[in-house]
């Protein structure tokens, strides 16, 4: 549970930002009293709902906790769009004289535009987040790829975040879609859950239905560590998946070998020093001659160590591709890659935008994905 001081700081900042939105928009809508009242009432409810939604995971009583999470996360999504649109309006009004426009005349219209943009972004973002992720096809060119691995397919899903707003039905649709791809191997690159095994085991049960020629492999993300990683590792194994924690397996496919390694989350040592993420350790004891070395690592910033260790391909997630503007602009402050296929020395790094979402059920310009990666000769 966050400290009272942290909660107080968050409430204060939210209060200031809510007041700022009301101060800048409500007086600018004198001809639209209904819009003024609607915005004012929404701001009053939004202020407690957002922290309430974030703290709902500490409430044991159901279904109240999930309903509060839904309300709080929806409010957070609306608030984010309102705040950004309000700031953009401020810049527009400042620039109006330079554009030959009368800022006072545009004040009311621009305030109304903020409300409409926030509403549209919320509706479109909600639809994008809740629909089944599309399949993205990516070819990975590998030098010296043996004929037996030409066309080898890997289905990657990541960052599903089963929790208060994502339940069994959502995951079941993902599993069914993955199975229709008939992949050679399935990779789940972390952040599967937001909550305890006790709460969510019925909703992660569809993972047991995943089917591929060489099985399904899972690595932990930071959110597993927020939710008691050791219990989730045991539960995922019970469902029949192979969990790779700084270790590897060797897959033999049509006379060729593929080493599949996995590391614990990049931040795992903050929770348990014994589980520090280590791509070199994941290779320890592996065969000296293997056609392809694949690493599953939740965070893209494992790439430097993976390249040093000699991996050919790293599959990651974590970033959600930013999920919705403007958060995509902040991802590069922490991660080397936001989304897609990138090259680091001799290492290919593919960063999934995620198959679910975290927090607000909202995705804009960062669609969710089920990734089908195909190994091809260079």
The owner of tokens 């809740």 is 130
On the question of a cis peptide bond just before residue 346, with omega within 30 degrees of 0, the verdict is no
Pair 21, 170 in one domain:
no
Is the pLDDT assigned to residue 35 strictly greater than 70? yes
Among 130, 157, 192, give the residue marking a domain's end.
130
Pair 51, 182 in one domain:
no
- Of 156, 142, 178, 175, the residue nearest 315 (C-alpha): 156
**Sorting pLDDT into bands at 50, 70 and 90, what band is 4?**
confident
- How many other C-beta atoms are found inside a 10 Å radius of the C-beta of residue 332? 12
Pair 145, 119 in one domain:
no
* Rounded Cα–Cα distance for residues 248 and 373 (Å): 19
- How many other C-beta atoms are found inside a 10 Å radius of the C-beta of residue 62? 10
What letter would DSSP give residue 115? H
Pair 114, 150 in one domain:
no
Model confidence over 241-294: pLDDT tens digits? 999 999 999 999 999 999 999 999 999 999 999 999 999 999 999 998 899 999
Pair 114, 52 in one domain:
yes
Pair 173, 282 in one domain:
yes
Helix (H, G, I), strand (E, B) or coil at 372: strand
Region of 161 on the Ramachandran plot (φ > 0 left; ψ -120 to 50 alpha; else beta): left
List, as one string, the DSSP characters of 156-221: EE----BSSS--HHHHHHHHHHHHHT--SEEEE-S--BSS-HHHHHHHHGGGGG---TT-EEE---
What letter would DSSP give residue 144? T
Q: Do residues 127 and 345 make contact, with C-beta atoms less than 8 angstroms apart? A: no
Pair 83, 204 in one domain:
no
On the question of a cis peptide bond just before residue 259, with omega within 30 degrees of 0, the verdict is no
The two structure tokens encoding residue 108: 């009311």
Pair 225, 358 in one domain:
yes
| Total domains, the chain | 2
* Rounded Cα–Cα distance for residues 28 and 205 (Å): 51
Listing from the earlier edge strand, what are the strands of the sheet with 242-243? 134-142, 369-377, 153-157, 185-188, 216-218, 242-243
Pair 194, 207 in one domain:
yes
The owner of tokens 């001809």 is 31
* Rounded Cα–Cα distance for residues 207 and 176 (Å): 10
Pair 371, 284 in one domain:
yes
Among 70, 104, 130, give the residue marking a domain's end.
130
Pair 148, 269 in one domain:
yes
Among 130, 163, 186, give the residue marking a domain's end.
130
* Rounded Cα–Cα distance for residues 39 and 21 (Å): 9
- Of 1, 355, 371, 364, the residue nearest 193 (C-alpha): 355
**Sorting pLDDT into bands at 50, 70 and 90, what band is 1?**
low
CATH of residue 207's domain is 3.60.21.10
Q: pLDDT at position 343, please?
A: 98
Q: How far, rounded to the nearest angstrom, does the alpha carbon of residue 331 sit from its chain's CA centroid?
A: 11
Model confidence over 189-216: pLDDT tens digits? 999 999 999 999 999 999 999 999 999 9
pTM over 0.85: yes
User: Alpha helices, DSSP H only, in the chain?
Assistant: 4-25, 33-55, 64-95, 103-130, 168-180, 197-204, 222-226, 229-238, 279-283, 303-309
* Rounded Cα–Cα distance for residues 84 and 114 (Å): 9
Pair 315, 349 in one domain:
yes
- What's the whole-number average pLDDT of the chain? 95
The parent domain of residue 307 ranges over 134-377
Is the pLDDT assigned to residue 103 strictly greater than 80? no
Is the pLDDT assigned to residue 2 strictly greater than 80? no
Model confidence over 45-68: pLDDT tens digits? 999 999 999 989 888 889 999 999
């Amino acid at each position: 549970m966050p400290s009272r001081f942290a909660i107080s700081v968050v409430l204060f900042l939210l209060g200031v930002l809510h007041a700022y939105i009301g101060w800048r928009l409500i007086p600018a809508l004198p001809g639209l009293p209904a819009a003024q009242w609607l915005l004012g009432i929404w701001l009053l409810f939004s202020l407690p709902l957002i922290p309430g939604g974030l703290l709902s995971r500490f409430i044991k009583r159901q279904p109240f906790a999930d309903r509060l999470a839904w309300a709080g996360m929806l409010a957070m999504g609306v608030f984010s769009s309102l705040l950004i649109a309000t700031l953009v309006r401020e810049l527009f009004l400042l620039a109006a004289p330079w554009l030959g426009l009368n800022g006072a005349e545009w004040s009311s219209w621009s305030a109304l535009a903020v409300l409409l943009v926030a509403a549209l972004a919320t509706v479109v973002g909600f639809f994008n987040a809740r629909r089944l992720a599309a399949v993205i096809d990516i070819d990975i060119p590998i030098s010296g790829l043996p004929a037996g691995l030409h066309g080898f397919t890997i289905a990657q899903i990541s960052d599903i975040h089963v929790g208060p707003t994502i339940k069994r039905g959502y995951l079941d649709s993902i599993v069914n879609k993955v199975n229709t791809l008939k992949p050679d191997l399935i990779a789940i690159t972390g952040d599967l859950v937001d909550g305890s095994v006790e709460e969510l085991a019925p909703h992660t049960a569809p993972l047991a239905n995943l089917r591929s020629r060489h099985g399904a492999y899972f690595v932990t993300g930071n959110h597993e560590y927020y939710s008691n990683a050791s219990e989730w590792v045991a539960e995922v194994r019970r469902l029949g998946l192979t969990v790779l924690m700084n270790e590897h397996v060797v897959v033999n496919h049509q006379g060729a070998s593929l080493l599949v390694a996995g590391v614990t989350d990049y931040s795992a040592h903050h929770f348990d020093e014994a589980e520090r993420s280590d791509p070199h350790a994941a290779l320890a004891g592996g065969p000296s001659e293997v056609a392809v070395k694949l690493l599953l690592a939740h965070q893209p910033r494992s790439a430097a160590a993976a390249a040093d260790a000699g991996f050919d391909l790293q599959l990651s997630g974590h970033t959600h591709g930013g999920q919705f503007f403007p958060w995509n602009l902040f991802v590069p402050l922490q991660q080397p890659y936001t989304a897609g296929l990138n090259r680091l020395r001799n290492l290919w790094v593919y960063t999934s935008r995620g198959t679910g979402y975290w927090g607000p059920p909202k995705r804009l310009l960062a669609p969710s994905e089920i990734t089908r990666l195909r190994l091809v000769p260079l």
